[in-house]
A and B are shown apart, each in its own frame.
Chain A
Amino acid sequence: MVALAAREPYFFLTGDLGFMALEPLEKALGPRFINAGVSEQNMVSVAAGMARTGAKSWVYSIAPFCYARPFEQIRNDVCINHLPVRLVGNGGGYAYGPMGATHHALEDYGILLTLPGMRTYVPAFDADLEPMVRSLSERAEPAYLRLGRSELTDEARLPTYAAWRELQTGKGAVIVAVGPIAGALWLATRDLIAAERPSIWVVTELGGAAPESPPPALLEALEFAPVLGVVEEHVAHGGFGQHFLHALALLGRSVPALLHAHARGYPSGRYGSQTWHRHECGLDVPTILAGLAECAKTPRVKA
């Protein structure tokens, strides 16, 4: 974002967040860096008004304060008017961990992808941010960037950025994961022998003008895979899994046995770290891999 500021003018509005993070951007943008205060509804509408003049505007907050509090402003002022406001929500899924339920974003892209023109970006790796920021800056329609932390310690082997990427091939299950959790799955399985190693696909862009359209190589892999794992730190309703299976059904594809690992809210009513919440929902890597092995025993079904 700092590099982008050097290339082109844009407005960046924060809802009074960014201490020890956004200072370099504040310095780079000068008066175009706007702390809009604790008023997310106004912030989004102001950003829409800025975009209406032809200016580029970005809005930043902790994820739920970015998409949930100002939802009507996103719907009416941004999306109905087809204005290219870029919403940046920090802390996708359970990322804010013990900060509590109000700070989690478990239904963000499911809600936002119902809106006209909206496209969601879920970077999986640090290296994704540069091409994503470039794409977001050039985008003429609304967008939501869901930030999390890369879970891959070594990004040197990453394939060239694309909305759908195959991270590794294998003869085991096919895993399609949204965002950073793909890195953890890759790390845990990359040293397995080919017969046991799952294929792993990471999806980092959802909806918009190019909705879920699985690449041919993925469709081909699904023809032979014993099991499909769809993994996302988002509730099932409106989540990627539903969109993906809908796309497969429209394509007339059969699907293997299915494991959909997704956020399940707060089953125990207790709170903890992101890792703790993932485990409670069966979203941790060992539980996912065990679930895939179990599912592989069941026959294929028609989508």
Chain B
Amino acid sequence: MAPESLSHMEMHDLARHARRRLLRMHFERRVGHLGGNLSALDAMLTVHHRVMGPADKFILSKGHSAGALYITMWSLGLLADEELASFHADGTLLAGHPVPGWSEHIPVATGSLGHGFPVALGMALARHLNGDPGHTYCLTSDGEWQEGAMWEALIFWSHRKLRNLTVFVDLNGLQGFGSTRDVASMEDLGNRMASFGLPVVSVDGHDHGAIAAAAKANPGSLVILQTVKGRGVSFMENRMEWHYLPLTAEQYATALGELE
């Protein structure tokens, strides 16, 4: 992972370049799922560039934001442009949801929701009981918290009080077929989680400094990221359809223009 932290301006520029590269990768391969990638990208970049150390691990529980993970790896020099060009292609390792066995930066396959968090919990518990160094970071979606397994894991984590695990929640308020409020209300999610006995902090999920500060100051916490689905592209922001749609050429050009 990143050996040294980036400045505020460097992170800002990095995030802008990463957004452009993410859009290009999805546009060239005619792949959707952009909304959740754009809401999660700032957190993934921040955690990898400003928070994580060499012994730390990151698990993307919301596997449908695999594009943002690949772009983060690209930003770290772990993936080349030619490899990004294989996204979603036949014979690729860069599938629409992370697949295992080819990079230590993808510890496990994810995609079906409700799995990454408890797996991260197991990694953290084994390291804790073995006295091994390293922190485990996990990024979940908000709709994912409708899965019962997430609450099983929350009970288990709260009971074990593990401080070598941090779980982020990409609270963009939109899920697959509606808003979280309309489908199965996730209102007051932070207090619901806190009622299980775990510390919960809430930050602007697009403020790199705030994300990094929250992660560093609150090991063993849930960090709720207040995010905007489709963040950075005006016509995508807070629009549920960008959970799915690929970009047209015109839309791609417009989006790039907004990210100059």
Contact = CB atoms under 8 A, between A and B. Distances in A.
Interface string A50-76: 111101010000000000000011001
A46 B152 CA distance: 11
A73 B110 CA distance: 11
A49 B122 CA distance: 4
A31 interface: yes
B130 A55 contact: yes
Contacts of B189: none
Interface in B28-75: none
A135 interface: no
Interface in B128-169: 129-130, 132, 148-149, 152-153, 155-156, 159
A77 B108 contact: yes
A235 interface: no
B109 A81 contact: yes
A274 interface: no
Contact of A39 (B108, B122, B129, B155): B155
20 contacts: A32-B129, A37-B159, A39-B152, A41-B118, A41-B152, A46-B118, A46-B156, A49-B108, A49-B118, A49-B123, A49-B124, A49-B126, A51-B122, A52-B108, A52-B123, A53-B132, A55-B130, A57-B126, A76-B111, A82-B101
Contacts of A73: 115, 118, 149
Given A36-B156, A42-B153, A81 B108 contact: yes
A226 to B, nearest CB: 49
Nearest to B134: A53
A204 to B, nearest CB: 29
Contact of B108 (A32, A42, A47, A48): A48
Contacts of A50: 122-123, 125-126
Interface in B86-128: 100-101, 107-109, 111-112, 114-115, 118-127
Nearest 6 A-B pairs (CB), nearest first? A49-B122, A45-B118, A46-B122, A42-B152, A39-B152, A50-B126
Contact of B125 (A49, A77, A80, A82): A49
A11 B129 contact: yes
Interface string A189-219: 0000000000000000000000000000000
Interface string A7-42: 001010000000000000000000110101101011
Interface in B15-29: none
B119 A77 contact: yes
Counting chain B CB atoms within 10 Å of each CB, the highest count among A9, A11, A42, A81 belongs to A42
Most chain B beta-carbon contacts within 10 A, residue among A36, A39, A76: A76
A198 B108 CA distance: 49
Contact of B100 (A55, A57, A81): A81
Contacts of B122: 45-52, 57
Contact of B119 (A9, A32, A49, A72): A49
Interface residues of A, number: 28
Given A11-B126, A81-B100, A72 B118 contact: no
Nearest to B129: A31
A77 B126 CA distance: 16
A42 B156 contact: yes
A53 B123 contact: yes
Nearest to B160: A34
A48 B119 contact: yes
A36 B121 CA distance: 12
Contact of A80 (B109, B123, B152): B109
Given A51-B122, A81-B100, 14 more contacts: A11-B129, A37-B152, A39-B155, A45-B153, A46-B121, A46-B153, A48-B119, A52-B107, A57-B122, A72-B112, A76-B111, A77-B118, A80-B100, A82-B101
Contacts of B107: 52
Contacts of B127: 53
A271 B153 CA distance: 35
A99 B226 CA distance: 48
Nearest to B120: A49
Given A53-B126, A80-B100, A46 B148 contact: no
A42 B149 contact: yes
A139 to B, nearest CB: 18
A126 to B, nearest CB: 31
Contacts of B153: 39, 42, 45-46
B50 to A, nearest CB: 24
